[in-house]
Amino acid sequence: MSLQIFSLMRHELLLIAVLLLILVAEIFWDPARKKNIRIFAVILFGIITLLGFLPVPEGSLFGEMYIVTPVRLMMKNILNIGVLIVLLQSITWLGKEKNSDKISEYFILLLSTLTGMSYMISSGHFLMLYLGLELATIPLAALAAFDRYSNNSAEAGIKLILSSALSSGILLYGLSMIYGTVGNLYFTEVAGLFTGSNLALLGFIFFFTGMAFKISIVPFHLWTADVYEGAPVNVTSYLSVISKGAALFIFIIVLFSVFPAISVVWQKMIYVLSILTMTIGNLFAIRQQNLKRFLAFSSISQAGYILLGVIGGNELGMASVVYYLLVYIFSNLGAFGVAIAISNASGKENIDDYNGLYKTNPGLSLIMMLALFSLAGIPPVAGFFGKFFLFTAAAEQGFFILVLIAILNTIISLYYYLLVIKAMFINKSENPIPPLKSDFPTRLALTLCVGGIVIVGFASIIFEYIRNMSFGV
């Protein structure tokens, strides 16, 4: 153990440090000024986000159980940025009276899930993966049930924890079979020893579905909408972006580096599942009235699109997925940011409530529109580039029909995104949401999102950067 560990495991260690600091602060802070913990925590987190960008040597720890490569670091940084935005967006909400007694809990829970994700991203062993996954999931259930006095929140919590328990059970069962056929669970060794025996395949499928649950791929997605709707908006935004992103990322790593031997198999599976995911997600999204639920289904279909990058199965696929996740974080958080701001101010969460929003809140409406366009993949915002690269990755493998279906699906999704835009810009309302003045953190968060949405696409350097790192997954 030397300093090297610190630098390699920097993200996780810093996160834990922040966790502890918040805990300490919670104990010693003057109760009257507990609200300031919010600022304290966000600033701390901002600092570690910046620190995350420091250059770092590649390497591995614990006998390759923990691996650091540039792309994994990049992914962590992307998640950090996302979490920073989420935290910024949470400040107003946490300042509310009903949350005043559990401010630090929020941070602790949230940051511990992030720690879990970081470990998951860096994992080089299925045990590490599993631990990270659970660490990322169990506190999330608590977060989903964060709103103690809301039926929906409680329901969301129980649905999340029980479903995810089931899925991790199945995932573990799969792992146990893989273990039985291979003899150990290091990524590198499994990759070398993996056979196409039926037991191993069964194990793979079980593992696959466990992961698919996390990414909410149809038909393993059913928890998603309910949890998203029930959980507090901030948590939903976190769920939809960060936890899904982390799971997706490691999903690709595992598929690419552990199971390349059966790539034909999982490509076919993903082919079917991605079509299902996009289509079902979209079809459900069409009818939604609650904005959170709406975004939940939209995020399901987004996962379907991302699978197109996964199916690419090469550096381009990897790069396009990571890039898209970055874009997606900005876009989705932008959309959620507006929803949060409005929910905080007026408590309204239905699409109908947004009628005539542009008249009263032009700025928020424009941000929402940008974010939705980005999600729909409309140029010149970043989502277009993200989608384009995903489709390119799939097309490179010759999956043109799949690409066609995906793009046709984007039309359905465009339809419902336009419904929201229509509500804001075209529909008239008797009592629109009054003009609201958002505070600095919210503005900062939204500015970050808008900046990301606008710049990430045009600035080719970002994509090229990710692309260059994606070699040697």
Partner 1 sequence: MNNGIPLQYFLILASIMFFVGIYGFLTRRNLIGILMSVELILNSVNINFLAFNRYLYPDRLEGLFFSLFIIAVAAAEAAVAIAIIINIYRRFSTVNVEHVNEMRF
Partner 2 sequence: MTTDFGYALLIPLIPLLMFLLLGLAGNQLKARLSGLLGTIGLGVVFVLSYYTAYKYFFATEKIAGAFSKITAFDMVWLRFSDSLHINMGILLDPISVMMLVVISTVSFMVHIYSLGYMKGEVGFERFYAFLSLFSFSMLGLVLANNIFQMYIFWELVGVSSFLLIGFYYQRPTAVLASKKAFIVTRFADLGFLIGILLLSFNTGTFDFSILCDPQGAAIATGSGAAFLGLSVMTWSLIFVFMGGAGKSAMFPLHIWLPDAMEGPTPVSALIHAATMVVAGVYLVARLFPVYIISAPDALVVVAYIGAFSSIFAAVIACTQTDIKRVLAYSTMSQIGLMMVGLGVSGYGGHEGLGYMASMFHLFTHAMFKALLFLGAGAIIHAVHSNHMTEMGGLRKYLPITHITFLIACLTIAGIPPFSAFFSKDEILVAAWHHDKLIFAVEYIVAGLTAFYMFRLYFNIFWGKETHYHHTPHEAPAVMTIPLIFLAFLSVFSGFIPFSKLVTTDGIPFEGHIDWSLALPSVFIGLVGIIIAMVMYKKETSLPDKVAATFKHGYKWAFNKFYMDEVYMFVTKKIIFAYISTPVAWFDRHIVDGSMNGISRLTNAFSFRIREFQSGQLQKYGFVFISGVLLLTFLMVYLWN
Partner 3 sequence: MNILSLLVLIPLLTIAGILFLKDTQKTRLVSAIGMGIQLIVAAVLVFMYLSERKAGNTDEMLFVRSYEWFKSLNIYYTVGVDGISVAMIALTSIVVIAGIFASWQVENLTREFFISLILLSSGVFGFFISLDLFTMFLFYEVAVIPMYLLIGIWGSGPKEYSAMKLTLMLMGGSALLLVGILGIYFNSAPGGGELSFNILEISKIQIPIEAQRFFFPLTFVGFGVLGALFPFHTWSPDGHASAPTAVSMLHAGVLMKLGGYGAFRVAMFLMPEAADEMAWIFIILTSVSVVYGAFGAIVQKDLKYINAYSSVSHCGLVLFAILMMNKTAMTGAILQMISHGLMTALFFALIGMIYGRTHTRLIHEMGGLMKVIPFLGVVYVIAGLASLGLPGLSGFVAEMTIFFGAFEHTDPFHRIATLVAVSSIVITAVYILRVVGTLLLGPIKNDHFNHLEDATWFERISTITLVVAVAAIGVAPYWLSTMIGDSMLPIVNKLLTANPF
Residue numbers of the site for partner 1 (CB under 8 A)?
127, 130-131, 134, 138-139, 141-142, 145, 148-152, 154-159, 161-162, 165-166, 168-170, 172-173, 175-177, 179-180, 183-185, 225-226, 229-230, 287, 293
Least spacing, CB of residue 432 vs partner 2, in Å: 27
Least spacing, CB of residue 361 vs partner 3, in Å: 14
Q: Which is nearer to partner 1, 211 or 326 (CB)?
A: 211
**Helix or strand holding residue 178 (H, E):** helix 151-182
Segment interacting with partner 3, rule: CB under 8 A, options 15-23, 44-52, 271-279, 411-419 = 411-419
50 contributes a contact to partner 2 by CB under 8 A: no
272 contributes a contact to partner 3 by CB under 8 A: no
163 contributes a contact to partner 2 by CB under 8 A: yes
Least spacing, CB of residue 307 vs partner 2, in Å: 14
207 contributes a contact to partner 2 by CB under 8 A: no
- Picked from partner 1, partner 2, partner 3, none, the partner binding residue 202 (CB below 5 to 8 A depending on kind) is partner 2
- Picked from partner 3, partner 1, partner 2, none, the partner binding residue 134 (CB below 5 to 8 A depending on kind) is partner 1
Closest C-alpha among 220, 302, 219, 274 to residue 405: 274
Least spacing, CB of residue 450 vs partner 1, in Å: 31
Task: State phi, psi for 60 to the nearest 5 degrees.
Answer: -145, 160
Q: How many Å apart are CA 299 and CA 33, to the nearest integer?
A: 37
Least spacing, CB of residue 406 vs partner 2, in Å: 16
Cβ atoms 25, 40 nearer than 8 A: yes
265 contributes a contact to partner 2 by CB under 8 A: yes
429 contributes a contact to partner 3 by CB under 8 A: no
Segment interacting with partner 2, rule: CB under 8 A, options 77-85, 92-100, 162-170, 306-314 = 162-170
Q: Which is nearer to partner 3, 415 or 440 (CB)?
A: 415
Task: Give the interface size with partner 2 as a residue count (CB under 8 A).
Answer: 33
Q: Which is nearer to partner 3, 46 or 363 (CB)?
A: 363
405 contributes a contact to partner 2 by CB under 8 A: no
24 contributes a contact to partner 3 by CB under 8 A: no
378 contributes a contact to partner 3 by CB under 8 A: yes
Q: How many Å apart are CA 289 and CA 285, to the nearest integer?
A: 9
SS3 of the chain: the string is CCHHHHHHCHHHHHHHHHHHHHHHHHHHCCHHHCCHHHHHHHHHHHHHHHHHCCCCCCEEECCCCEEECHHHHHHHHHHHHHHHHHHHHHHHHHCCHHHHHHHHHHHHHHHHHHHHHHHHHHECEHHHHHHHHHHHHHHHHHHHCCCCCCHHHHHHHHHHHHHHHHHHHHHHHHHHHHHHHHCCCEHHHHHHHCCCCHHHHHHHHHHHHHHHHHHCCCCCCHHHHHHHHHCCHHHHHHHHHHHHHHHHHHHHHHHHHCCHHHHHHHHHHHHHHHHHHHHHHHHHHHCCCEHHHHHHHHHHHHHHHHHHHHHHCCHHHHHHHHHHHHHHHHHHHHHHHHHHHHHHHHCCCECHHHCCHHHHCHHHHHHHHHHHHHHHCCCCCHHHHHHHHHHHHHHHCCCHHHHHHHHHHHHHHHHHHHHHHHHHHCCCCCCCCCCCCCCHHHHHHHHHHHHHHHHHHHCHHHHHHHHHHCCCC
Q: Which is nearer to partner 1, 297 or 324 (CB)?
A: 297
Among 219, 362, 380, 435, binds partner 2 (CB under 8 A): 219
**Helix or strand holding residue 68 (H, E):** strand 66-68
Q: Which is nearer to partner 2, 376 or 453 (CB)?
A: 376
471 contributes a contact to partner 3 by CB under 8 A: no
Least spacing, CB of residue 218 vs partner 2, in Å: 8
Least spacing, CB of residue 286 vs partner 2, in Å: 5
Cβ atoms 378, 414 nearer than 8 A: yes
5 contributes a contact to partner 3 by CB under 8 A: no
Segment interacting with partner 2, rule: CB under 8 A, options 27-35, 49-57, 265-273, 315-323 = 265-273
237 contributes a contact to partner 2 by CB under 8 A: no
CB atoms within 10 A of CB 217: 28
Judged by the rule CB under 8 A, the positions of this chain that interact with partner 3 are 316, 319, 373, 378-380, 384, 388-389, 391-392, 395-396, 398, 400, 403-404, 407-408, 410-411, 414-415, 418, 421-422, 425-426, 460, 463-464, 467-468
Enumerate binding residues for partner 2 (CB under 8 A): 158-159, 162-163, 166-167, 170, 196, 198, 201-202, 205-206, 208-209, 213, 219-220, 222-223, 225-226, 265, 268-269, 272, 280, 283-284, 286-287, 412, 415
